[in-house]
A and B are shown apart, each in its own frame.
Chain A
Amino acid sequence: MSIKTAIIGVGQTGYRFKRTDVTMQELAQEAAAKALEHAKMEMDEIEAFVLGIAPDALSGIDNVDRWIGQALGVTPRPQLRVNTGGTTGAAAAQAGYIHVASGMFRTVMVLAADKVSETPDAQWVLNTAMDPIYERSLALNAINMCSFQAVRQMHQYGVTERQLAAVAVRSRQNAMANPYAHLREPISIDDVLSSRYICWPLKLLDCCPRSSGACAVIMAAEQVAVSSPNRPVWIQGMGATSNTVYMGDKMGPGRDTDHADWDELAMAAATAYRRAGITDPLEQIDVAEIYAPFTCTELAAVEALGFCPKGLGGQMNEQGMFDMRGPMPVNPSGGVLSANPISATALARVAEAALQVMGDAGEHQVPGVRRAVATGIGGTLQFHTCMVLGEDL
């Protein structure tokens, strides 16, 4: 029933701590221009726009999406904004896919941008995402909510701080080959283990940076995609699962899902896999771009995606399972631990996964990728998305 949809162009600005040389809308223009150039298209050929902009307070302008539309010179074309926190870029990609799959548009540009460096402390903003009545005054934020996950993983599965450190080291190693990554200095296990505690057990180098940057992805219906100069990357399946905002519901005896695990991602992946015809993810998926802003979250993700049994992510990672040349390369781009332009982060996962399938990932290309998976995460680890991209229609 749905129209076959492909990604035919990708543009990223490169992710840096600050971009004081441009305004927010100029940053968005930069990514849009790069995506058009990559797809060999003109802005006139784009029929609709989806903007992924996470909390307004991160950039300090309410509804900055409506400013960006004019800056791109695309008014009064259809434009829609998605904001689902960390998941924003992935949810925007899913919304973009729906624009085309519905048959209403032949082409759509999905664009996400952030200038997180312009707010002095993103965690203060993210604290305002917490329930104002029960939880905000307890200083909860994006870092300590992941600490709660790490603590439970350590308790339930015996995950160690060293295992977490190994995730950071591999991510950084991959980032060294990706010119768009924000953090590209090599780090060692000892560097991670000796970095200061932020929220126990997470240390500075277990955490993602705050980055500025933009990412754009062009999607097209089959009739347009087949004549693209790039190899069309088909969106074979997608899934999303939302859970309660209350982390405590995922810990007590009444839990359906566990805060240690990403059971919600497993559900989203099951939907995406079913649509993509994947029955054996380890065999049928060649690379994964995972939204893992903290080391512990990546362990939950690889398990939820079916790459290894629950609780074994840390061990498998130490054994090289997820290395660039391992059986299931994870985050060849360096992932979120190497660049986190919040609104654009999850879209960058989709973009990087698409580049891997196109064979256009440059120095961090994994050889022979036919199918890739990209994930997103947002809220109190409550919003999960999964998208399967492949070279086959």
Chain B
Amino acid sequence: MNIQSRIAILGGAQSMLGAHRDDVRLEELVFEAAEAALDDAGVKRSELDTVVLAGSDQMDGRSISSMVTACPAGAYLKDEIRTTIEGSFAAVLACMRILSGEFETALAVTWTKTSESPYDLVSSLSYDPFYQRPIGLSDVIDAAAAVSTYTGSKSTLADAACSVVVKNRSNGEVNPRAFLRYPMARETIDDSPYVAYPIRRAEIPQACDGAVAVLFGSAQRAKAIDHQPVWVDGVGWATGEYGIGVDPPVHMRALRAAAARAYAMAGVVDPSREFNFAEIFDGTPYHEIFAYEALGLTPDGLGPAFILDGASERHGALPVNPSGGLQATNLRFASGMSRILEAYLQLSGRAGPVQVASPRQGIAHGATTYPAQSHAIFVMRNY
């Protein structure tokens, strides 16, 4: 299905970030992002047709957390719905709502305030209570086990992982929107202890609190704003096996399925040549490397070489996470929407010090945390 120039991004913004945004309640954090996104687009709340939320009850410590966040996100007496998989799935639903022709504008809002909740404990509750939870599985442990299924050189992979962290942290250093704005030295990573072999403490980014909002609109609505819209020309999403499944996890079968759908929709044939940048999930650096391959940015088996050769550096052939990614801004549940926002800013020429030169097309990727079971891919253009 061709959806070219039918879904526009009209604006977007994030709240102030912080390790502990104790100065605001969850609702107030959400309001900050929604208000800023509407301001960015020059659209009033009264002009909104629908609000699409994404949030996780257990991370928020509130059952049905959209009860308190719906109105600060702009939904008072409006159409509103909430999804839970990952922040970027609010954008998935927003895109479909625009395509259906029943809505002209859709504000997608997501948030994370993990300073309030015990993250590791919450993550362990996602495992089934009979076979997995008693073993003490958590997302980092699961991710480490996933990495163990890699069949290439383990030392090259570890070296590449280290390089991804160094790259993303150095990008984050110059990104005014990033949370961690200082670099990470290779030695610091090498010296840091293993959390679960082979994943080191320094490879798991510190989380922050924040909210992100992106306003989607129809082609008709895009004509009415005074700046150049960015188009979402391909959307794909998929959910894979629960925990470590039938396929080697490093293959990222669900990500491949999601990308295949988005690429087909947008008419992308050779992603390694057609994208000017990629904003992708790097909850651990290993995920970024496996995603290079799953997304077709480089052939299978050459993921480590893609970073070691410098291709994904900010000034490389295909910059990956010029924003610094999750390594610099780990918004946990809201990370995928943060990737969409950064991709939007790149394509509208407003990425500031991390702007890549004249981008025309890029992708944004949202994924559930470390076991990386669910993925959403957005192909975005500015022409």
Interface residues of A, Cβ cutoff 8 Å to B:
1-3, 23, 53-57, 60-63, 65-67, 69-70, 75-85, 91, 94-95, 98-99, 101-104, 125-126, 128-129, 131-133, 239-245, 256-257, 264, 267, 271, 275, 378-380, 382-383
User: Is the beta-carbon distance between B77 and A80 smaller than 8 angstroms?
Assistant: no
Write out the residue numbers on chain B whose beta carbons fall within 8 Å of the beta carbon of A239. Answer: 79
- Of B126, B237, B239, B373, which is in contact with the most chain A CB atoms at under 10 Å from its CB? B239
Do the beta carbons of A242 and B126 come within 8 Å of each other?
A: no
CB under 8 Å from chain A, chain B span 132-170? none
A contact residues around B122 at 8 Å (CB): 62
Q: A61-B129, A62-B125, A98-B93 are in contact. List 5 more A-B contacts (CB 8 A).
A: A77-B238, A81-B83, A242-B79, A245-B67, A380-B67
Q: A104-B96, A104-B99 are in contact. Are A242 and B63 (CB under 8 A)?
A: no
Q: Which of A54, A69, A102, A242 contacts B78 (CB 8 A)?
A: A242
Hey, which chain A residues are within 8 Å of B57, CB to CB? 55-57, 83
Nearest residue, chain B, Cβ from A63: B126
Interface size, B (range): 35 or more
Contact with A along B255-293 (1 / 0, CB 8 A): 011100100000000000000000000000000000000
* Cβ–Cβ < 8 Å partners of B238 in chain A: 75-79
Nearest-CB distance from A41 to chain B (Å)?
21
- Establish whether residues A95 and B100, one from each chain, have CB atoms under 8 Å apart when the complex forms: no
Task: Tell me, yes or no, whether B81 is within 8 Å of chain A by CB.
Answer: yes
Q: How many angstroms between the C-alpha atoms of A53 and B64 in the bound complex?
A: 11
Q: How far is the CA of A239 from the CA of B71 in the complex (A)?
A: 17
Contact A379 B257 (CB under 8 A): no
Most A CB contacts (10 A, CB to CB) among B240, B258, B368 go to: B240
Judge whether B102 and A243 touch: CB under 8 Å.
no
A80–B126 touching, CB < 8 Å: no
With both beta carbons as reference points, the residue of chain B lying nearest to A25 in the complex is identified as B128
Known: A56-B57, A101-B100, A242-B76. A379 touches B64 (CB 8 A): yes
Interface residues of B in 242-260 (CB under 8 A from A): 242, 245, 253-254, 256-258
Chain B neighbourhood of A67, CB < 8 A: 128, 242
Listed from nearest, the 10 A-B pairs whose CB atoms lie closest are A1-B101, A102-B99, A242-B80, A76-B254, A62-B125, A85-B64, A79-B239, A129-B63, A55-B63, A101-B100
Chain A to chain B contacts (Cβ below 8 Å), 30 pairs: A1-B100, A2-B101, A3-B100, A23-B130, A55-B63, A57-B63, A66-B368, A75-B240, A75-B241, A75-B254, A76-B238, A76-B256, A79-B85, A79-B239, A80-B89, A81-B85, A82-B83, A83-B66, A83-B84, A91-B81, A91-B82, A102-B99, A129-B64, A131-B68, A133-B25, A241-B78, A242-B76, A243-B76, A267-B77, A379-B66
Q: Is the CB of A242 within 8 A of B93?
A: no
Nearest-CB distance from B361 to chain A (Å)?
20
Q: Which residues of B contact A102 (CB under 8 A)?
A: 95-97, 99-100
Q: Which residues of A contact B100 (CB under 8 A)?
A: 1-3, 98, 101-102
Shortest distance in angstroms between A66's beta carbon and chain B's nearest beta carbon? Answer: 6
Among B87-116, those with CB < 8 Å from A are 89, 92-93, 95-97, 99-102
Q: Contact between A242 and B245 (Cβ–Cβ < 8 Å)?
A: no
A66 with B126: CB separation less than 8 A: yes
**Closest residue on chain B to residue A83 by CB atoms:** B84
Q: Contact between A85 and B77 (Cβ–Cβ < 8 Å)? A: no
CB distance from A386 to the nearest CB of B (A): 11
Q: How far is the CB of B336 from chain A (nearest CB, A)?
A: 13
Interface centre among B81, B93, B99, B258 (most CB of A within 10 A): B81
CA distance A22 to B20 in the complex (A): 42
Closest to A49 in B: B239
Given the complex of chains A and B, what is the CA–CA distance between A131 and B75 in angstroms? 18
Q: How far is the CA of A244 from the CA of B92 in the complex (A)?
A: 25
With contact pairs A2-B101, A56-B57 given, residues A62 and B257 touching in the complex (Cβ less than 8 Å) = no
Residue of A nearest to B261 (CB): A78
**Residue B14, interface by CB 8 Å:** no
> Counting chain B CB atoms within 10 Å of each CB, which of A55, A63, A79 scores highest?
A63
